[in-house]
Amino acid sequence: MKPEWRYPEAPDWANYLVQNGEGYWIWYEYEPVFNSEFETWHNVQGGRFKYATYDFRKSIEKRP
């Protein structure tokens, strides 16, 4: 389930949100770069990053 941009899910410093190949969502302070060789995002400019967490017990969704 995609995290929300509102607090408390998004850190106040987060400017980018990406999903990696394993399905995890990651917040980035600076724009990450996608590395096609390794099929992943990289934090090349430094800055903070944090894996987004959510309560998996609330992950059920009904088809709209």
pLDDT in tens, the chain (64 residues): 788 888 788 899 999 998 887 788 888 899 998 888 877 887 888 788 888 876 556 665 666 6
Cα angle value 15/21/25 (rounded, 5°): 35
Domain count, the chain: 1
Does any domain span residue 38?
yes
CA distance 55 to 58: 6
Coil/strand/helix, residue 26: strand
Does any domain span residue 1?
no
Does any domain span residue 3?
no
Q: Which of 38, 46, 6 is nearest to 20 (CA)?
A: 38
Does any domain span residue 11?
no
Does any domain span residue 7?
no
What range does the domain containing 21 cover?
16-55
Does any domain span residue 4?
no
